Amino acid sequence: MDEEYDVIVLGTGLKECILSGLLSVDGLKVLHMDRNDYYGGESSSLNLTQLWKRFRGSDSPPETLGSSREYNVDMIPKFMMANGLLVRVLIHTDVTKYLNFKAVDGSFVYNKGKIYKVPATDVEALKSPLMGLFEKRRARKFFIYVQDFEETDPKSHEGLDLNKVTAREILSKYGLEDDTIDFIGHALALHNDDSYLDQPGIDFVRRMKLYAESLARFEGGSPYIYPLYGLGELPQAFARLSAVYGGTYMLNKPQCNVEFDDSGKVVGVTSEGETAKCKKVVCDPSYLSDKVTKVGKVARAICIMSHPIPDTKDSHSAQVILPQKQLGRKSDMYLFCCSYSHNVAPKGKYIAFVSTEAETDQPEVELKPGIDLLGPVDEIFFDTYDIYEPTNNSEEDNCFISASYDATTHFESTVRDVLAMYTKITGKNLDPSVDLSAASATTEG
């Protein structure tokens, strides 16, 4: 391997694949390696036999579950906001031509022991059983303020400077109750905890607008879309894209040791006795474990069911957010459900995930509030994995390490990490303004 590359990317997890695609499109010479013989790294997608091998150590699932091949169980399942950053990146890079999306049926929130549809507009606020009559009117006024808010039009700001005023101050101006603030902050603005309340309100209002605009996009029951056959399709789509722009892919490369010069700057990657030279390395935490630190842990349950999640209006695909306060926790819990309608299971079968940032060492106990909402399950697997964040200074060593995937069942935090990494690597901001009509999704069952 005498060639020198601008960037070597290690690991074919989703973040790494998006970055190798973006960097290839930018004209950089990219080599992409993985020690595994499959795409996806931590974010890979498993069939039934692989699922059994991974969690039960045996490879013979019961025949009643149907054909192993018809299952595509994403290890880190996340829905995409229809107008969100990931969809913009997919359009920007033209990866959409390799993928088929389908709208997600429902977006729900847990409140006082029950599941409710998330109201996202002034019209839905008035219909929602989540609130009493007077609260509905207050919420409606707040939703209208958000819908009419335009950053460039001071007349729409109602005298509030959102770069200075906190989210808490905006919400108190409309006199909203704590339970209402709970679902607005966690199920609409998709904040993982309540720290956003004391930060400038601009990000909070932008997130609410994104939710409402995404919801309007396909006129479905949710603002989310998901690829047919699951997220396993995404890394491969970005790999194809990278190849079109001259990127080179090598799977099944053992070790992949990153090499440094005397000053601590990266100079290449060695595998099987050969070194490929490079200026920069992009990787997931497992490739440079001495440059990351553990910041937490995700607990999750993976369930195979023969019915949709109860009280989600028979949604074949749905997200339910359980805000932390409702459970007396420090962070939210998430339910994710997908089924044969997105081609991730055989007809009549549903895959559900319950995930949260672990606060104990007992996932079975900790995830119970979410699992109790699922109804009867055919099979259940419990799992925990550690979350790592980089500790290195990329300006000094030219190593760009992604953070581990969090417990959320949507992509907003993942893509923010990717775009921040892209800026660090290239010194440029990715312009996410694209013609959104380039990505379409079907809504029919």
Which residue type sits at 171? L
Identify the CA nearest to 183 among candidates 99, 232, 111, 279: 111
Question: What is the structure's pLDDT at 1?
Answer: 53
Identify the CA nearest to 291 among candidates 264, 254, 267: 264
Note every long-range contact of 335-339, with CB atoms under 8 Å and residues 24 or more positions apart, other chains counting: 335/309, 335/370, 335/373, 335/374, 335/409, 336/77, 336/78, 336/79, 336/409, 337/308, 337/309, 337/312, 338/77, 338/226, 338/230, 339/308
Q: What is the C-alpha separation between 423 and 426, in angstroms, rounded?
A: 5
Sign of CA dihedral 347, 349, 350, 351: negative
Tell the burial category of 431 from Cβ atoms under 10 Å away from its Cβ (0-12, 13-18, 19+): exposed
Q: What is the C-alpha separation between 327 and 113, in angstroms, rounded?
A: 9
Its pTM stands at: 0.92
Question: What is the structure's pLDDT at 444?
Answer: 60
Dihedral class, residue 177 (left if φ above 0, else alpha if ψ from -120 to 50, else beta) = beta
Going residue by residue through the chain, which has 445 residues, state the pLDDT in tens, using 9 for 90 and above. 568 999 999 999 999 999 999 999 899 999 999 999 888 888 889 999 999 999 999 878 999 999 999 999 999 999 999 999 889 888 888 888 888 999 999 999 999 999 999 998 899 999 999 999 999 999 999 999 999 999 999 999 999 999 999 999 999 999 999 999 999 999 999 998 899 999 999 999 999 999 999 999 887 789 999 999 999 888 888 888 888 999 999 999 998 999 999 999 999 999 999 999 999 999 999 999 999 999 999 999 999 999 999 999 999 999 999 999 999 999 999 999 999 999 999 999 999 999 999 999 999 999 999 999 999 999 999 999 999 999 999 999 999 999 999 999 998 889 889 999 999 999 999 887 777 776 777 776 5
Question: What is the structure's pLDDT at 238?
Answer: 86
Identify the CA nearest to 13 among candidates 416, 414, 300: 414
Sheet holding 441-442, edge to edge: 80-81, 224-227, 101-103, 441-442
Question: What is the structure's pLDDT at 437?
Answer: 76
Residue 422 gets which letter from DSSP? H
Q: How far is CA 433 from the centre of its chain?
A: 20
Question: What is the structure's pLDDT at 71?
Answer: 97
Domains of the chain: 4-44+231-292+390-428 (3.50.50.60), 49-105+294-387 (3.30.519.10), 117-216 (1.10.405.10)
Question: What is the structure's pLDDT at 424?
Answer: 97
User: Which two three-digit tokens encode residue 100?
Assistant: 């088929």
